[in-house]
């Protein structure tokens, strides 16, 4: 979650990373501490290196992925897409008996969540989610062209 003071955004909450283990496909979520060099999977015990320098943690400004080191990141709202879709499906089903007021209510709920929820930075290469960092202006919204070029480089 981020809090705004004037025009400056201040990151709140503890910085964390979330990713899927390469070996057992279990989701790993770990808080970032100063001396952290690797994150161990609770499922299979595999150690995943973390590229965390003290400046990144101190400034809370993310320049590259902390797992794979790729500089290509994108930002999106930190909200479960399936839940959001479910809200609008329910509102659509209720739109006939409520004369469309349920769609208006769902839109207002969506707007409120958009304004209240923080951002998450995701890596194009490995999909790691970075939470608790300031929004870097170099990281924009998802771009299909960037995703395809990163995928082409990985497979080449």
pLDDT for residue 131 is more than 50: yes
pLDDT for residue 41 is more than 50: yes
Please give the mean pLDDT across all residues of the chain.
Answer: 87
Separation of alpha carbons 13 and 50, rounded Å:
20
- The pLDDT tens digits for 58-100 are 888 999 999 999 999 999 999 888 988 999 999 999 999 999 9
**Residue 94 has what pLDDT?**
94
Q: Which band of pLDDT confidence, cut at 50, 70 and 90, is reported for residue 3? A: very low
Which of 2-11, 50-59, 73-82 shows the lowest per-residue confidence on average (mean pLDDT)?
2-11
Domain boundaries, the chain: 2-78+117-155
pLDDT for residue 30 is more than 50: yes
Apex CA 30: angle with CA 52 and CA 136, to 5°? Answer: 50
What is the pTM (predicted TM-score) of this model? Answer: 0.80
Nearest alpha carbon to residue 130 among 140, 119, 115, 141: 119
Pick the more confident residue, 33 or 43: 43
Cα dihedral 86, 87, 88, 94 in deg (nearest 10): 110
pLDDT for residue 44 is more than 50: yes
**Residue 12 has what pLDDT?**
60
**Residue 11 has what pLDDT?**
58
**Residue 7 has what pLDDT?**
35
């Amino acid at each position: 979650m981020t809090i705004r003071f004037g025009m400056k955004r201040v990151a709140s909450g503890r910085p964390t990373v979330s990713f899927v283990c390469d070996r057992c496909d279990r989701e790993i979520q770990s808080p970032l501490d100063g001396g952290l060099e690797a994150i161990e999977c609770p499922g299979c015990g595999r150690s995943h290196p973390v590229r965390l320098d003290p400046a990144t943690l101190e400034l809370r400004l993310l320049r590259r992925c902390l797992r794979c080191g790729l500089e290509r990141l994108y930002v999106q709202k930190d909200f479960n897409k399936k839940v959001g879709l479910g809200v609008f499906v329910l509102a659509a089903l209720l739109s006939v008996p409520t004369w469309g007021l349920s769609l208006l209510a769902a839109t207002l709920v969506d707007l409120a969540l958009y304004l209240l929820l923080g951002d998450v930075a995701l890596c194009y290469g490995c999909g790691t989610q970075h939470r608790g960092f300031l929004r870097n202006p170099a990281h924009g919204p998802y771009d299909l062209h960037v995703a395809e070029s990163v995928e082409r480089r990985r497979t080449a």
